[in-house]
């Protein structure tokens, strides 16, 4: 609990001044509301008396105008300052989350499910925003108002001020705490169920094709609908209890109004000259009800908000642990050296990479082969700095690769098996790494990767919007766009992971031609599971059980390794079949 409030206090202290200004403005706005009704009550009562003159009511009229104009102005400034402050805080948190995703998404020991990221981004940060705007601000302002109102009553009657202070504290503190105690467990369960639903829904959306093919899509939708119904029913129970306690709060405040009427009547009713204060105190009390009565329902939502704070603490702590990455040292040398590297996945029976030693000279194109689970993709993740070796070292261009310490996006490019194209323009997809790149260079690179004719056929050119996941482009074209994106980044090393698995032989041959043509002056590492074009590479590395089983040029291995020849023959027969 203490760490949670420490975390919240740290965010408050980062923007302490606007927070205090917002509280002062909120207190002024609420005070002006009470004073507006106070002076209005006095003015109404005064004008109903005989012998009233314009001069005698000029001062109350002036105060009505001052408070009437000042209240919306103070409220507007309070909303402006408080919302600006909260949006700055939540923007910082979103930036932390994006850095966390970028730094940990490929690490199975640290990465989270996509639905969990969506839940944190859409739900938890919104809860933190509401925690400040709908819980902290109203509660603090109501507490300050209760003390100010008690002091105001104390100027006339200290005994009655003590009674009202007890009523105020019971409404501002006692009833909200009762609400919190009664709804805490249910609110926690509602929050957990909502997060589970978001995570499950995201998972189902990403795997929608498999659900449709399995024939169980309706069953899964019905299950989600049932879970949503249970969540809504539990949420309705919480809200019903909130409304019940809110009704009790209104009844307590109604009794307080009666007490004010009785006190003001007994204090000022005996003298006609002071009778105007009865209406003034009575009407002036009503704006306080607006600030006090909503607190039980507001405080009951703090359970969900605090759960969100716990998750945000966890994520932001991981970001602090990961640190902020510095650009990897620039070097014209695109060589890679791996010495004694070992990496094991959590709970895996054996290391994915075991005491691996490997050196790849600059400018060499290498095919990394092996069965599924042999460590090919793990090796690529280690070289890219997405995974950290548990022992050994990796050097790129003579500089040691320290995972999570450096940003290698300007040095190492990566082309995945299924490249993702964003639902943005072709220009935006190509210029991710270099937003300031010129259109002429983009068009030149598109022609270099073999998309010249396709580009010429686009009516909007670089302004053509690519549908989500590359709708409107074939698999081969999507790979070429992703390759062009890597070339725009002007990286010295390009790692291509299983680029041919979903392509037909013709497209596969065209893509490999493009790769060799565009990466002549770069270090090229192609991870693949078959050997269709293996003879075109400078070097072949065959991984087995996390280590090098075969290593050499295709010509050398064809002469010295019967196993390599058997693999070539087997792959050829498999492709023909």
Q: Are residues 309 and 353 in the same domain?
A: no
What residues of the chain score a pLDDT lower than 70? 1-15, 51, 93-128, 191, 199, 202, 206, 208-214, 297, 300-332, 402-407, 409, 467-472, 499-505, 507-508, 530, 532, 570-577
548 located within any domain: yes
Q: Are residues 267 and 394 in the same domain?
A: no
User: pLDDT value at position 318?
Assistant: 46
Helix (H, G, I), strand (E, B) or coil at 327: strand
Angle at 103 between CA 522 and CA 207, to 5 degrees: 95
Interaxial angle between packed helices 175-206 and 217-268, expressed in degrees from 0 to 180 and rounded to the nearest 10: 160
User: pLDDT value at position 244?
Assistant: 82
**Contact of 281 with 38, CB cutoff 8 Å:** yes
Q: Which residues, in sequence order, are CB contacts of 358 under 8 Å at separation 6+?
A: 336, 337, 338, 541, 548, 551
Q: Is 385 left (phi over 0), alpha (psi -120 to 50) or beta?
A: left
CATH of the domain at 390: 3.40.50.300
Return the structure tokens found at 495. 């790692």
- The closest of 140, 108, 107, 100 to 124, measured between CA atoms, is 100
Return the structure tokens found at 278. 């009865």
Q: Are residues 37 and 142 in the same domain?
A: yes
Domain boundary among 322, 339, 367: 322
199 located within any domain: no
Return the structure tokens found at 10. 């740290």
User: pLDDT value at position 76?
Assistant: 92
198 located within any domain: no
- The closest of 293, 296, 294 to 250, measured between CA atoms, is 293
For 296, list phi and psi in degrees, rounded to 5: -55, -45
Instruction: Please give the Cα distance from 325 to 385 (Å, whole number).
Output: 11
Instruction: Please give the Cα distance from 344 to 67 (Å, whole number).
Output: 69
What DSSP letter does each residue of 114-156 carry, written as one string? HHHHHHIIIIIHHHHHHIIIIIIHHHHHHHHHHHHHHHHHHTT
Q: Are residues 25 and 81 in the same domain?
A: yes
3 state SS for 514-541 = HHHHHCCCCEEEEECCCCCCHHHCCEEE
Give the dihedral sign, CA 221/223/226/230. negative
Decide: pTM greater than 0.95: no
Q: Are residues 280 and 334 in the same domain?
A: no
User: pLDDT value at position 109?
Assistant: 45
Distance of CA 518 to the CA centre of its chain: 37
Angle at 46 between CA 42 and CA 47, to 5 degrees: 125
β 391-396/336-343 pair status: antiparallel
User: pLDDT value at position 322?
Assistant: 40
254 located within any domain: yes
User: pLDDT value at position 320?
Assistant: 39
Q: Are residues 403 and 552 in the same domain?
A: yes
- Number of domains the chain contains: 2
Distances in Å between the alpha carbon of 514 and those of 353, 419, 474, 477, 486?
A: 30, 16, 16, 12, 13
Domain boundary among 299, 322, 345: 322
Instruction: Please give the Cα distance from 119 to 114 (Å, whole number).
Output: 9
Q: Are residues 361 and 379 in the same domain?
A: yes
User: pLDDT value at position 32?
Assistant: 92
User: How buried is 368 (Cβ within 10 angstroms: 0-12 exposed, 13-18 middle, 19+ buried)?
Assistant: buried
Q: Are residues 178 and 270 in the same domain?
A: yes
Instruction: Please give the Cα distance from 557 to 541 (Å, whole number).
Output: 10
Q: Are residues 31 and 155 in the same domain?
A: yes
Q: Are residues 281 and 370 in the same domain?
A: no
**Contact of 568 with 531, CB cutoff 8 Å:** yes
Q: 148-156 long-range CB contacts below 8 Å, 24 or more apart?
A: 148/27, 148/31, 149/34, 149/285, 149/288, 156/267
Domain boundary among 306, 322, 338: 322
Return the structure tokens found at 11. 């965010």
Give 437-480 pLDDT, tens digit per residue: 888 988 888 888 888 888 888 888 888 888 655 556 777 788 78
217 located within any domain: no
**Contact of 29 with 78, CB cutoff 8 Å:** yes
Domain range enclosing 272:
2-190+232-322
Q: Are residues 46 and 94 in the same domain?
A: yes
Instruction: Please give the Cα distance from 185 to 187 (Å, whole number).
Output: 5
């Amino acid at each position: 609990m203490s760490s949670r409030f420490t975390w919240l206090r740290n965010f408050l202290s980062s923007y302490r001044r606007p927070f205090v200004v917002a509280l002062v403005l909120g207190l002024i706005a609420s005070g002006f509301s009470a004073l507006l009704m106070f002076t209005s009550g006095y003015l109404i009562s005064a004008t109903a008396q005989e012998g009233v003159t314009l001069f005698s009511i000029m001062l109350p009229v002036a105060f009505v105008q001052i408070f009437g104009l000042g209240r919306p102005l103070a409220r507007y400034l309070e909303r402006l300052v408080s919302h600006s402050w909260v949006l700055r805080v939540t923007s910082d948190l979103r930036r932390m989350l994006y850095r966390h995703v970028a730094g940990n998404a490929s690490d199975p020991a640290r990465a989270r499910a996509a639905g969990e990221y969506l839940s944190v981004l859409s739900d938890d940060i919104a809860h933190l925003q509401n925690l400040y705007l709908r819980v902290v601000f109203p509660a603090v302002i109501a507490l300050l108002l209760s003390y100010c109102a008690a002091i105001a009553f104390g100027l006339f009657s200290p005994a009655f001020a003590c009674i009202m202070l007890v009523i105020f504290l019971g409404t501002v503190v006692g009833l909200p705490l009762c609400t919190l105690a009664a709804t805490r467990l249910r609110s926690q369960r509602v929050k957990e169920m909502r997060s589970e639903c978001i995570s499950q829904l995201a998972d189902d959306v990403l795997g929608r094709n498999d659900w449709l093919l399995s024939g169980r899509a309706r069953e899964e939708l019905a299950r989600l609908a049932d879970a949503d119904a249970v969540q809504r029913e539990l949420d309705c129970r919480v809200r019903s209890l909130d409304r019940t306690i809110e009704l009790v709060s209104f009844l307590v405040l109604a009794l307080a109004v009666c007490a004010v009427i009785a006190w003001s009547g007994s204090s000022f009713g005996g003298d006609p000259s002071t009778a105007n204060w009865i209406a003034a105190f009575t009407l002036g009390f009503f704006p306080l009800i607006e600030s006090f009565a909503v607190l039980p329902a507001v405080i009951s939502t703090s359970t969900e908000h605090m759960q969100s704070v716990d998750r945000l603490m966890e994520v932001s702590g991981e970001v602090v642990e990961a640190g902020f990455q510095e650009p990897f040292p620039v070097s014209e040398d695109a060589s890679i050296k791996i010495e004694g590297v070992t990496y094991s996945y959590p709970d895996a029976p054996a290391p994915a990479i075991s005491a691996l030693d490997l050196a790849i000279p600059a400018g060499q194109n290498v095919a990394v082969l092996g069965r599924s689970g042999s460590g090919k993709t793990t090796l690529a993740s280690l070289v890219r700095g997405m995974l950290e070796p548990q022992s050994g070292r990796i050097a790129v261009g003579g500089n040691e690769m320290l995972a999570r310490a450096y940003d290698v996006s300007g040095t190492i490019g990566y082309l995945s098996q299924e490249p993702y194209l964003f639902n943005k323009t072709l220009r935006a997809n190509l210029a991710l790494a270099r937003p300031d790149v010129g259109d002429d260079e983009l068009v030149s690179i598109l022609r270099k990767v073999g998309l010249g004719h396709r580009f010429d056929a686009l009516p909007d050119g670089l302004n053509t919007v690519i549908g989500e996941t590359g709708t409107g482009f074939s698999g081969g074209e999507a790979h070429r766009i992703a390759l062009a994106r890597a070339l725009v980044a002007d990286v010295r090393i390009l790692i291509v992971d299983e680029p041919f698995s979903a392509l037909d032989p013709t497209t596969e041959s065209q893509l490999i031609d493009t790769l060799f043509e565009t990466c002549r002056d770069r270090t090229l590492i192609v991870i693949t599971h078959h050997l269709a074009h293996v003879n075109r590479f400078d070097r072949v590395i065959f991984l087995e059980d996390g280590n090098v089983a075969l290593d050499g040029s295709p010509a050398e291995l064809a002469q010295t390794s019967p196993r390599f020849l058997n693999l070539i023959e087997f792959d050829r027969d498999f492709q023909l079949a």
